[in-house]
Amino acid sequence: MRVDGVVQGVGFRPSVYVLADELGLAGFVLNDARGVLIEIEGAATVVERFVEELPQRAPPLARIDGVTLTELEPGADPVAAISGNGATTEELIVAAPLARFEIRASPAGERADALVAPDTATCEDCLRELLDPADRRYRYPFVNCTNCGPRFTIVQGVPYDRSRTTMAHFSMCAACQAEYDDPYDRRFHAQPNACPECGPRAELILLPEAPSADWRPPFGRSSALSTQAGDVLGEEQRSAPGDALAGAAELLRAGAIVAVKGIGGYHLACRADDERAVDRLRARKHREHKPFAVLVADLDAARALVELSPAEDELLASPAHPIVLAARRPGAAGSLAT
C-alpha cells in the first residue's frame, strides 16, 4: 500500500503497526520521501479487513489523500517495485513470508515529496501530565506526544524521523525510550519525545533594560544568578533552568515585555490589561491601532471577553488553536488595553 497525504509525524506508522498486530498480519511499514509504504502478508480475508479498517484507525492528525494497492508476485521486493516504477503507496501481498510486522527505517536518497504535518496545540492527555505534580513531565513546557506538539517547525528533512529534526541533538533517556518503543504507548515512535531529564530546557535571559526603575531580577537566593537588593542590571543574565517560567511570569506582572522563543520563532508578550506595557509594545512594533492577539486560559475565559459563534468556538478548540477574530462582549473587555 502506498498512502499519500499528511501521514508523517502524526502517529500513522504506530497506528498501522497496532492494527496489523491485532489482526495477526506480518509485513512492515515505513516512511519514505512520498508518504507511507506498507507491506502486508496474511490470509486474503484478513488483508482485506486491514485495508478496510486502516482509514478508520488513522490517528487524529492524519489526513489520507489517497491509497493505492498493488499485489505482487511471491518473493518480489515491494520497495523496489514501487519506487522503481513511480507508483504510489500500495498494499503489497507478498509470499516471501515475514515472521512479524515491524516499523522499518526510512530509506534515504529519494526526492522529497512527503507532506509534513503542522504544529498542533497540546492535547488533553499531555495537559493532564503537565499539571499533575506526580507526573515526571509536571510543568515541563515541551511536553508532547504523537497527537500533539511540534512537527513542521522542527523538521529539517523528510522522511520524518528524529534524525532529521532539531531533536536529533537530544538523546532519549531510558524512560522516554521505553515509551518510544512501546507499540501501545501514545508516544510510540513520537519523534519529539522528551522530558526534563533528556529534552530541551527553558531559560530566561535578562537584558540590561528593566521595566521600571525599582524593578529587580526575579531570581531568588537559591538561584545561581541570585541578586541582592540594590543590584543594577548590567550585562545580560541567564536563569537557572527551574527559574525560567516563574521569572518570566514575574516579569510580565511587573510590566515587562517578554520575548518568548517558541518552536517557530518569537512571540512578544505583555499583560493585556497593562496600558503602559501595551503602549510600549505598540511603539516597538509600530502598530498604533491594529489589535494584538489576546492569550486566554480556556474557552470560558474567551467567552467572558468576546462573543463567540459555534464555529468560532470550534476553531479555538481545534488542534490548530488559531488566532480567531471575534466581537468584543459589551462591557466585558473594558480592562483590556489592546
Looking at the chain, the whole-number percentage of residues with pLDDT higher than 70 is: 79
Indicate whether 75 pLDDT > 90: no
CA–CA distance from 241 to each of 144, 190, 225 (Å)? 19, 24, 11
Q: Is 297 left (phi over 0), alpha (psi -120 to 50) or beta?
A: alpha
Which DSSP string corresponds to 120-170? BPPPHHHHHHHT-TTSTTTT-TT--BTTBB-SGGGB-SSS--GGGBGGGGS
Which of the two residues, 98 and 91, has the higher pLDDT score?
A: 98
Q: What stretch of H or E contains 276? A: helix 275-285
Q: What does pLDDT average to over the chain? A: 83
- Please name the residues in contact with 1: beta carbons below 8 A apart, sequence gap of 6 or more: 37, 38, 39, 40, 51, 54, 67, 68, 69, 70, 89, 90, 91, 92
Report whether pLDDT(268) > 70.
yes
Structural contact between residues 28 and 46, judged by C-beta atoms closer than 8 angstroms: no
Read off the pLDDT band of 80 (50, 70, 90).
low
Interval 164-191 mean pLDDT: 95
Look at residue 211 and tell me whether its pLDDT is greater than 50.
yes
Alpha carbons 148 and 263: distance in angstroms, whole number: 13
User: Quick one: which of 66, 56, 157, 44 has its CA closest to 108?
Assistant: 157
Query: What's the maximum distance between 2 C-alpha atoms anywhere in the chain?
Result: 81
DSSP reduced 3-state for 281: helix
* Mean per-residue pLDDT, 38-52: 94
Tell me what the mean pLDDT of segment 321-331 comes to.
89
Tens of pLDDT, residues 192-210? 999 999 999 988 888 766 5
For the chain, state the CA radius of gyration.
Answer: 25
Q: Which domains does the chain have, with CATH numbers?
A: 2-103 (3.30.70.100), 116-200 (3.90.870.30), 202-292 (no CATH), 294-338 (no CATH)
Q: Is the per-residue pLDDT at 93 higher than 60? A: no
Reply yes or no on whether the pLDDT at 88 is more than 80.
Answer: no
- Checking if the pLDDT of 279 tops 50, the result is yes
CB burial class (10 A; 0-12, 13-18, 19+) of residue 124? exposed
How many angstroms separate the CA atoms of 9 and 189, rounded?
9
Q: pTM, whole model, 2 decimals? A: 0.75
Q: Is the pLDDT of residue 133 over 90?
A: yes
Taking Cα atoms as reference points, which of 75, 70, 77 lies closest to residue 95?
A: 75
Provide the grid cell at 32: 519514505
